[in-house]
A and B are shown apart, each in its own frame.
Chain A
Amino acid sequence: MSDIKALLEVLLLAAIPLLPIIAGRLLLKRFPKTEAGAEPVPGTRAGRLIGNILFWCGILAILMILVFILNYKGVI
């Protein structure tokens, strides 16, 4: 029981950085790039900016956790 609890906890912790990635991806889908000459949807610029920040921060967070763990394990 204790092992399952610990395993679930790790999965949950590892999933937290996925939330900004999902939110960022949704925002980027909601505000697609405007074709040249086309009328942009209101808020596209801000939406894409926030989407990009969330998306890349989430990716960085996961990579950072991996780097810390690999460093701790002496791999890097």
Chain B
Amino acid sequence: MGKFLALLLLLSPAAALAGGEEQPRPPATSADAIPADGEMNMEDLAEFYDNARSGSGAPEMDIAPSRAQAIKYSAPEPKAVPSTPPPVTGGAAKASGGDEKSTGGHGVTIQVIGSAQPLAFRRGAEAAAAIRRLPAGSITSIEFYGHGAPGYQTVDPDYSLGSDEAGDLLRGKMAPGAKLQFTGCNTASIGDRMRINPAFGLSSITRRVLYFSIPYFQDRLDGRSAEEAREFWEREWNKDLAQETSLRLRGTRVCGYRTFGLVPERLPGVSHLTGRNEATSPGYVAGIKACYINGVEVEP
């Protein structure tokens, strides 16, 4: 019985914190699919199209069974203008809606020159809008907290960024010697240093299976050639978001995780007990960190 309980206790963190992507929550309306900054890339456009098909903001056609009846057309309701709520301070945010299901701990925490309190945001788009308004060279430290995968990190179900997006967003905004932290699983490569830590080995095995083997066979089933699939996923599975971003933000210390990062606070029950189920920063993270300045590895 004791062994069984221990097994259950040890399993729950993996279930709660598995670094795979959170299934994105579909936006409620097509208006929600538009990023707050108004810029839409191809992914946004595809998402917008999908939502326009099913969302309430789209024209609704009610075709009656009989052709004698007139086709009803209801015009789209006016979109609510999204307002940027003030940043949350103190590391944790309150739930925005009483009955809304919590999306767990995620967010962006920004330390700005001349401010004792960090700026904390639950939503990535709100943080991005706030960063664009900040003066040049004002950020001393910034942390993106959410789910990660090789080459990119999500902040909330509707906002993710890769090295290009992070570079474009933060270019010129970082103070000299500033720090950027990607707190998400596998946001750095596994590296080439030999380690005897079995947890690191297990994490690397899982990473290879998740981000090479499974997508490789999926591509093969979809008809992609073996060479093409292998070449593509060999490049993808070990991408280093932290290193790539550090090359785009010269002089900034950029850190990520070489492994899956286990956050004890995100355990079901623990987050409720500590009242940090909607925290914007993770507290303790069990994982191996890697830091880079201008693409060169430095001590974390």
B133 to chain A, nearest CB (A): 36
Q: Are B230 and A13 interface neighbours, CB within 8 A?
A: no
Judge whether B226 is part of the interface by a CB distance below 8 angstroms.
Answer: yes
Interface centre among B213, B227, B229, B260 (most CB of A within 10 A): B213
Q: Are A68 and B14 interface neighbours, CB within 8 A?
A: yes
Question: Which one of B33-41, B152-160, B200-208, B289-297 is at the interface?
Answer: B200-208
Question: Which one of B19-27, B169-177, B277-285 is at the interface?
Answer: B19-27
Q: Mark A55-74, 1 if CB is under 8 A from B, else 0.
A: 01101110111011101111
Judge whether A36 is part of the interface by a CB distance below 8 angstroms.
Answer: no
Q: What's the Cα separation between A34 and B206 when bound, in Å?
A: 38
Contact of A2 among B23, B206, B227 (CB under 8 A): B227
Q: Are A10 and B213 interface neighbours, CB within 8 A?
A: yes
Contact residues of A between 1 and 23, Cβ < 8 Å to B: 1-3, 6, 9-10, 13-14, 16-17
B181 to chain A, nearest CB (A): 23
Q: Are B11 and A60 interface neighbours, CB within 8 A?
A: yes
Q: Are B214 and A72 interface neighbours, CB within 8 A?
A: yes
Contacts of A13 in B (CB 8 A): 205, 208-209, 213
B15 and chain A: residue at smallest CB distance: A67
Q: What's the Cα separation between A9 and B7 when bound, in Å?
A: 28
Q: Classify chain A's interface size.
A: 20 to 34
A16 and chain B: residue at smallest CB distance: B205
A18 to chain B, nearest CB (A): 12
Contacts of B248 in A (CB 8 A): none
A9 to chain B, nearest CB (A): 7
Judge whether A38 is part of the interface by a CB distance below 8 angstroms.
Answer: no
Q: Are A16 and B201 interface neighbours, CB within 8 A?
A: yes
Contact of A68 among B3, B18, B201, B217 (CB under 8 A): B18
Judge whether B250 is part of the interface by a CB distance below 8 angstroms.
Answer: no
Q: What's the Cα separation between A33 and B240 when bound, in Å?
A: 49
Q: Are A67 and B14 interface neighbours, CB within 8 A?
A: yes
A24 to chain B, nearest CB (A): 13
- B residues with CB within 8 A of A: 3, 6-7, 10-11, 14-15, 18-21, 23, 198, 201-202, 205-206, 208-210, 212-214, 216-217, 220, 226-227, 229-230, 260
Apart from A16-B201, A65-B206, A74-B23: 17 A-B pairs, beta carbons within 8 A = A2-B230, A3-B226, A9-B208, A13-B209, A17-B205, A56-B3, A56-B6, A60-B10, A61-B198, A64-B11, A65-B202, A67-B18, A69-B209, A69-B210, A72-B18, A72-B20, A76-B15
The 10 closest A-B pairs by CB, nearest first: A72-B20, A71-B18, A2-B226, A67-B14, A68-B18, A64-B14, A10-B213, A71-B20, A68-B206, A13-B205
